[in-house]
Chain A
């Protein structure tokens, strides 16, 4: 099974730090453990979602600005 990065908490998922910035990472892009791959907004604050392992993002499983549940897979890593 592919490795995934999961949402720690429920909220709204964002792929970039603010509307004027590029996405943290694109499909096909590589990440290192500890890299921020998105944000989750809940209770009026934003929380960084970090990769726990090195890898290449093979696929995002949710869209920018989607509502996500805690424990939901956000993206696949190869």
Chain B
């Protein structure tokens, strides 16, 4: 045992890179919503890529270490405290047996990530330790952490002691740390069923400053602020009667649907994998980290880009991550 949960926070789950590749059976990937912050956490503590950490949403837990450990907190501006003293984020820290990690109120962003050298050791389910709470699988007993839970740590890279002490004190360059504000711009590729929206409504979708609703969660981000209309037609066989309905198809992660023409929803890591709502666009993968750090009542604009720009953005993000990894090795 290495971490005892004194209080769980609002929604603290074990996550890794996710359970990708299982769409054929309708299994969403789960995994860290902000992959950037999650991965950098693993780099900081010297973990192998894909080691499981904790995703901490909106309100932090109190965690007691029952043995010494090497940790890093990345992601949202939700200041961590060790034994009540504020501690830095995006920096590798050592904690001793009996130390308690807690968090101050969230200031900006939505999700903090706790990486621990050795990774959180929960059973692997379908090649991932990620928690999918809706079905109750993966992670720690398939659910968010609760008071009294006891987490084990895995063995650190190269069989070193799990307190990879060599990493302590390393920090991410200030320039490489994302800054979260209450306004977010998300780049989208228009499609696959954008033909269902009227042209005026597509313009409105791209012009409106949308507000993140309190419903936004790991399943989807819901927005309000505009109303969109669909091209009138006689619905084809197999499609439902809502003008937003099409014949069922697969939903990419990041895809945007607008049931009833109000409140667009961006589907995220725990979403249903297919269905009968027209998807009018998809938030590019490089911007989903930022989406995951927008919080209820924050503002969001969607900007249409071409596929080339999306691929370039994905390449840039990989390069940035590789550079950060090198700088912390």
Contacts and interface: CB of A to CB of B under 8 A. Distances in A.
Q: Do A and B bind each other?
A: yes
Interface of A: 6, 8-12, 41-44, 47, 67, 69-71
10 contacts: A9-B10, A9-B59, A9-B106, A10-B297, A11-B214, A12-B214, A43-B11, A44-B215, A44-B217, A67-B214
B105 A8 contact: yes
Contacts of A41: 214
B296 A11 contact: yes
Nearest to B10: A9
A70 B106 contact: yes
B57 interface: yes
Given A42-B10, A70-B105, A9 B214 contact: no
A11 B295 CA distance: 9
Interface string B51-90: 0000001110000000000000000000000000000000
Contacts of A47: 10
Contacts, number: 48
Q: Of residues B11, B58, B107, B217, which shows the largest number of chain A Cβ atoms within 10 Å of its Cβ?
A: B58
B295 to A, nearest CB: 5
Interface in B303-319: none
Nearest to B297: A67
A9 B296 CA distance: 10
Contacts of B106: 9-10, 69-71
A37 B68 CA distance: 39
A46 B59 CA distance: 14
Contacts of A42: 10, 58, 214, 296
B107 A43 contact: no
Contact of B215 (A6, A43, A71): A43
Contacts of B295: 10
A70 B58 contact: yes
Nearest to B78: A70
B216 interface: yes
Interface string B88-132: 000000000000000011110000000000000000000000000
Contacts of B10: 8-9, 42-43, 47
Contacts of B59: 8-9, 70
Which of B104, B106, B217, B296 is packed against the most chain A CB atoms within 10 Å? B296
B214 A43 contact: yes
Contact of B57 (A43, A67, A69, A71): A43
Q: Which A-B residue pairs are the 9 nearest by beta carbons?
A: A71-B105, A70-B106, A43-B217, A9-B59, A67-B297, A70-B105, A9-B58, A42-B214, A11-B214
A48 to B, nearest CB: 12
Given A43-B214, A44-B215, A44-B217, A10 B58 contact: yes
